[in-house]
């Protein structure tokens, strides 16, 4: 079952360009985007700046109306049934926006709980639960403008969870965070997915996307350029693994086995491979047959940054 679906979404903006901004230019921000996000999964949406990621999220969360195409969240049409969609989603568009600086973190969450129709007591209880969940239970009564950027990011996720949504849309939730804060936010996202939340995530951190997402769509120039699991995309694009085998002992491998000097001063056979397990066995067998001993063995998987670069460069 799919929590989020869209078919042929398009969105066009008219921008004023030039020194005096007298020249108008039509920009197709979203150009026929179609997606299906499985229930209870983390779905990564990635692409270069201006590719259409945030515009797509704004359409799916009812903040923008598409010029054409349709989209549904939990079966509700995002245009015709926008109110129902808003009841079941949570949204983080910027981790440091949408709060009142002279209210505490706790008071901000209570305020948003009241907007969703909770009683004062219910809103307070929910706020306390969420502060505990995101690791801010000891800072809930500090003013928001005293929060670090990492704390603000956690509070923004807590706000997105105030209505216990079925679907979360997180646009760059770790942008600008220090490594420790980003790690904690990633752990929180992973835990939410394990609890059955459907999460649509955008990020420029390719390692983050690969680590968290079961499926990824790469958008370029408003279109979906590639789609699949991180491993499937690497295979589709024919990206190579790198197999390294250290040679211990006197002598050097045969000339038909490419090698270089390793960090320990020994020759290291290094080959690109699409079948790393098979090639690793062949290399080791060949070395041992010729009387060499094997030191370390490494297999480097292509990174998701390689996927991103290959898709964006065409």
Q: Where are the domains of the chain?
A: 2-228, 241-303
Tokens 């979906």 correspond to 224
pTM score, whole prediction: 0.82
Average pLDDT of the chain?
A: 89
Q: How many CA atoms does the CB half-sphere of 19 hold within 13 Å?
A: 0
Contact 131, 105 (CB under 8 A): yes
Q: What is the pLDDT of residue 251?
A: 61
The Cα–Cα gap between 66 and 205 comes to: 28
- Calculate mean pLDDT across residues 179-203: 90
**Structure confidence at residue 19 as a pLDDT band (50, 70, 90):** low
pLDDT for position 255: 59
pLDDT, tens only, 201-255: 998 888 899 999 999 999 998 999 999 998 888 888 888 888 888 888 766 666 5
Report pLDDT for 92.
Answer: 92
Distance CA 68, CA 247 (A): 61
- Helices 179-194, 149-160: inter-axial angle, 10-degree rounding: 10
Portion of the chain with pLDDT greater than 70, in percent? 96
Range of weakest confidence among 100-104, 133-137, 172-176: 172-176
Kindly report which listed range (12-16, 33-37, 195-199) carries the lowest average pLDDT score.
Answer: 12-16
User: Residue 260, class by beta-carbon neighbours within 10 Å (0-12 exposed, 13-18 middle, 19+ buried)?
Assistant: exposed
Which whole number is the average pLDDT over 27-45? Answer: 93
The CATH number assigned to the domain with range 2-228 reads 3.40.50.300
Return the top range by mean pLDDT from 69-78, 86-95, 169-178, 294-303. Answer: 69-78
Report yes or no: 68 and 8 within 8 Å, Cβ to Cβ: yes
Distance CA 37, CA 2 (A): 5
Q: Helix, strand, coil shares of the chain as percentages rounded to 5?
A: 35, 30, 35
pLDDT at position 112 is 95
**pLDDT, tens digit, for every residue of 54-113?**
999 999 999 999 999 999 999 999 999 999 999 999 999 887 788 999 999 999 999 999
Indicate if the pLDDT at residue 146 is higher than 80: yes
Q: What is the DSSP letter of 301?
A: P
């Amino acid at each position: 079952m799919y929590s989020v679906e869209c078919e042929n979404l398009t969105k066009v903006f008219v921008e004023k360009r030039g020194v005096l901004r007298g020249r108008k230019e039509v920009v197709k921000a979203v150009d026929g985007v179609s997606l299906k996000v499985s229930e209870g999964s983390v779905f990564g949406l990635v692409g270069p700046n201006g590719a259409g990621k945030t515009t797509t999220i704004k359409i799916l969360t009812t903040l923008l109306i598409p010029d054409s195409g349709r989209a549904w969240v939990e079966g509700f049409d995002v245009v015709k049934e926008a109110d129902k969609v808003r009841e079941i989603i949570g949204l983080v568009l910027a981790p440091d926006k949408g709060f009142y600086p002279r209210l505490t973190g706790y008071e901000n969450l209570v305020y948003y709980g009241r907007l969703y129709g909770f009683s004062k007591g219910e809103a307070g209880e929910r706020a306390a639960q969420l502060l505990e969940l995101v690791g801010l239970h000891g800072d809930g009564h500090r003013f928001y403008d005293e929060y670090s950027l990492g704390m603000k990011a956690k509070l923004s996720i807590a706000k997105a969870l105030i209505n216990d949504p079925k679907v979360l849309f997180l646009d760059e939730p770790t942008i600008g965070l220090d490594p420790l804060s980003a790690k904690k936010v990633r752990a929180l996202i992973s835990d939410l997915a394990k609890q059955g939340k459907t999460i649509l995530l955008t990020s420029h951190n390719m390692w983050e996307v690969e680590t968290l997402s079961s499926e990824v769509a790469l958008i370029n120039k408003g279109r979906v350029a590639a789609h699949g699991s991180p491993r499937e995309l690497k295979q589709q694009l024919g990206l190579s693994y790198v197999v390294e085998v250290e040679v211990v002992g006197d002598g050097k491998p045969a000339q038909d086995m490419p090698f270089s000097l390793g960090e320990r001063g020994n020759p290291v056979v290094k080959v690109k491979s699409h079948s790393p397990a098979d090639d690793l066995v062949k290399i080791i067998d060949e070395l041992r047959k010729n009387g060499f001993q094997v030191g370390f063995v490494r297999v480097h998987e292509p990174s998701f940054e390689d996927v991103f670069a290959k898709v964006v460069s065409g």
